[in-house]
A = this chain, B = another copy of it.
Amino acid sequence: MKEKRQLILESAEKLLATDGFHGLSMQKVANQAGVAAGTIYRYFDDKEALIEEIKLNIMQRVATAIQKDIDDNDPIKVRFRSMWLNIWHFAISEKNTFLNRNQYEALPSSNLIKLKELEKKIFAQVNQLFIDGLEQGVFKPLSVEILVGLSLEASVCLARKHSQGFFTLTDDDLNSAIEASWDAIIKH
């Protein structure tokens, strides 16, 4: 029964979003999922494995969200705007997941290399965007990772602070912020 595995995963994710990392005990996950504690261990080797899977799950969701409705044939700027906004909207719609991101991000992954490869794969369109920009000479000659850090990560930073209630952005601000991110990476 594949469903139960999924059920556990979702329950764990929900708890993580709600109570943060502290609130993630196997017992609570079991309760949330409506299964016995022992049942979890039929589907996951141990807590670490469960968390690892959650990370992958979320990463996948994030990737899907960011790359939603992105057409690789669209102009670079259009794609950039879309992704930026996708991040923004995802951050707002899944506020808790997003805010807690820090907590499991810092956790040591058992296989960092495999993770990075996976990342490259599921964020292929993001990658493509920057490769295209570099090839077309639009972007500053920096590595893709750095360019991402300078532009889209800013979106993430702002979204987090926004979610934490540090400040609010008008639509105009939002547009300006996108333009600013764009300014950061293009040649002038």
Give A contacts to B, CB under 8 Å.
Answer: 20-21, 99-100, 102-103, 105-108, 112, 116, 140-143, 145-146, 149-150, 153-154, 156-158, 161, 164-167, 169, 173, 176-177, 179-181, 183-186, 188
A21 CB to nearest chain B CB (Å): 8
Q: CB distance A184 to B149 under 8 Å?
A: no
For A139, the closest partner residue in chain B by CB is B180
Q: CB distance B157 to A145 under 8 Å?
A: no
Q: CB distance B184 to A150 under 8 Å?
A: yes
A100→B153 CA distance, assembly (Å): 18
A11 CB to nearest chain B CB (Å): 21
For A158, the closest partner residue in chain B by CB is B149
Q: Chain B residues near A184: list those with CB within 8 A.
A: 150, 154, 180-181, 183-184
Q: Return 27 A-B CB contacts under 8 Å, by A number.
A: A99-B106, A100-B106, A102-B102, A102-B103, A102-B105, A102-B106, A103-B103, A103-B106, A112-B165, A116-B166, A140-B176, A142-B173, A142-B177, A142-B180, A143-B167, A145-B167, A146-B158, A149-B154, A149-B157, A149-B158, A149-B177, A150-B154, A150-B180, A154-B157, A183-B184, A183-B188, A184-B184
